[in-house]
Amino acid sequence: MSLNKHRWRQILLLLIIMSLLTGCWDSREIEKRATILAIGIDNAEHNAKNEEDEVNHLKGANQIPNERMIELTVQMAIPGRIPLGPQIGAGDKSPVLVIQAVGHTIEDALLNIQQEVATEIFLGHLRLIILNEEVARAGVGRFTDYLRRNPQIRRTASLVISKEKASEYMNIKPELERVPSLYLAEMVDSLVQLGKFPPTFIGMFWSILSSKGQEPYLPYFKIKGKANIQINGLAYFKGDKMVGKTKPLQIGGFMAGIGAEKGGYALFIKIPDLEQAVLVRAVERKTRVKASMKNGKPHILLKVRYECEIEEVESVNPSNIKAEDLQILEKNFSSEATRALETLIVETQEVKSDIFGFGEHFRAKLPNYWNNQVKTKENWQDIYQNLAYDVEIKTKIRRTGMKAK
């Protein structure tokens, strides 16, 4: 009797242990994952439809999207070849594999790639998505759904626009970092830290795209030389379509407009008496935006306060900068910055692209006006085109460096 009881207990214990030791359904060893680090999206050739393999749909199927097909280039990490920490003289084998496929949508193309790769595609480490300018001009809205829906994608991944084909960026081999896509992603992050670009990541792009009173913007990349990449400006959008790009220096003006605190760009200013050009760099700025109604029309007042420092004085003779000279420099810097900002506003007004988010100020601060006369993003785009504005910039130069004379 008691023996029987014991046996019964043993069996129960065994059952419990069995159910507890089953492990994880979702466990997947790291080398069994095809980790994609970066994605580049280009327009596919016009005859891509005919070359497409019948992976996700048969030829002539009538339920496929009508939009132009895309060419997806991915950079995949090769297990064991991604160095952890700095390594000197590591082997010359590339740590990444570049694969290309065409498709109607991102997932369509990814499934085509999956068909060629033995391990399961994993997007949890995706750091960078590069869109070719042509694709961006046709509209990026078609890609956002997949990226939002997929739980693996990080909202902090970077989205950038490229002048050249995005596939070229996937094949580029920068010298400064072993993993090319990590270098590119780091580049976006560190440029933000240096004050060369306002904070940008894909989640922020989506938020601005969804908001009613602002148009999104993205960094614009260009390949320089063999393996260098330059931030060549700021791509601005109207809705989900790219409509133009700025010059690199204008990014500084843009950052003043949206009130990014960190300054990073410098201007040459001449002191008339001395005939010397002085390079004045913005260090910090404070922006106040005042939205109001003037004579029944919306009006924006932008007040920017710059803090600058003198970086370099172009001189052969000893230069002696006096307090009055600083005042002149401050004044000239202000007027130069005002001009730069106003030009950018005019340029974006021409294409109805309110990247500064002035509309958000009206929506937030003058809800009556917004609800009665604006309501939608489209209406605001039309109003922005003729928006009246004033720019007031004040500059203070605090530091002049280590040189006295």
Partner 1 sequence: MEDPKEVTTVQAATTLISTIIGVGVLPLPLFAVRAGDTGAPFITLLGIGIAAFGLFVVTKLGLRHSDKTIITYSEDILGKWLGRFFSLFVIVFFSILTALAAREFGAVVITAVLLETPLEVTVIVMLLLAAISARNTMNTFAYIHNFYIPIILAPVLIIVALSLKNANFLYVRPFISSGLHDSFFGALTIAALFQGSFIMTLIIPSMKNPKSAMKAGWWAIFISGGLYLLLVLATVAIFGAEEIKRLYWPTLELARTTSLPGNILQRLDVIFISVWVIAVFTTIFASYFLTIHSVKQLFRLQDHKMLAYFMLPFIFILAMLPQNIVQLYDVIKIAGRAGLIVTILYPMLLYIIDAMKSKRRKKGESKQA
The footprint of partner 1 (CB under 8 A) covers 24-26, 148, 151, 154-156, 199, 203-204, 206-208, 210-212, 357, 360-361, 363-365, 367
Q: Which of 137/369 has CB closer to partner 1? A: 369
Instruction: Provide, rounded to whole angstroms, the least separation between the CB of residue 320 and partner 1.
Output: 43
Instruction: Provide, rounded to whole angstroms, the least separation between the CB of residue 194 and partner 1.
Output: 17
Instruction: Provide, rounded to whole angstroms, the least separation between the CB of residue 206 and partner 1.
Output: 6
Q: Which of 25/404 has CB closer to partner 1? A: 25
* Cα angle: 383, vertex 385, 390; to 5 degrees: 95
Q: Which of 254/333 has CB closer to partner 1? A: 254
Secondary structure (H, E, C), the chain: CHHHHHHHHHHHHHHHHHHHCCCCCCCCCHHHEEEEEEEEEEECCCCHHHHCCCCCCCCCCCCCCCCCCEEEEEEEECCCCCCCCCCCCCCCCCCEEEEEEEECCHHHHHHHHHCCCCCEEECCCCCEEEEEHHHHHHCCHHHHHHHHHCCCCCCCCEEEEECCCHHHHHHCCCCCCCCHHHHHHHHHHHHHHCCCCCCCCHHHHHHHHHCCCCCCEEEEEEEECCCEEEEEEEEEEECCEEEEECCCCHHHHHHHHHCCCECCCEEEEEECCCCEEEEEEEEEEEEEEEEEEECCEEEEEEEEEEEEEEEEECCCCCCCCCHHHHHHHHHHHHHHHHHHHHHHHHHHHHCCCCCCCHHHHHHHHCHHHHHHHHCCHHHHHHHHHCCEEEEEEEEEEEECCCCCC
d(C-alpha 72, C-alpha 161), whole Å: 14
Instruction: Provide, rounded to whole angstroms, the least separation between the CB of residue 101 and partner 1.
Output: 23
Q: Which of 51/261 has CB closer to partner 1? A: 261
Instruction: Provide, rounded to whole angstroms, the least separation between the CB of residue 324 and partner 1.
Output: 40
Instruction: Provide, rounded to whole angstroms, the least separation between the CB of residue 28 and partner 1.
Output: 9
d(C-alpha 234, C-alpha 392), whole Å: 23
Instruction: Provide, rounded to whole angstroms, the least separation between the CB of residue 207 and partner 1.
Output: 5
Instruction: Provide, rounded to whole angstroms, the least separation between the CB of residue 213 and partner 1.
Output: 8
Which residue type does 381 have? Q
Q: Which of 104/361 has CB closer to partner 1? A: 361
Instruction: Provide, rounded to whole angstroms, the least separation between the CB of residue 353 and partner 1.
Output: 18
The set of residues, in sequence order, having a beta carbon less than 8 Å from that of 148 and lying 6+ positions away, is 206
Q: Which of 180/216 has CB closer to partner 1? A: 216
Instruction: Provide, rounded to whole angstroms, the least separation between the CB of residue 360 and partner 1.
Output: 5
Q: Which of 211/349 has CB closer to partner 1? A: 211
Closest CA to 97 of 120, 115, 109, 81: 81
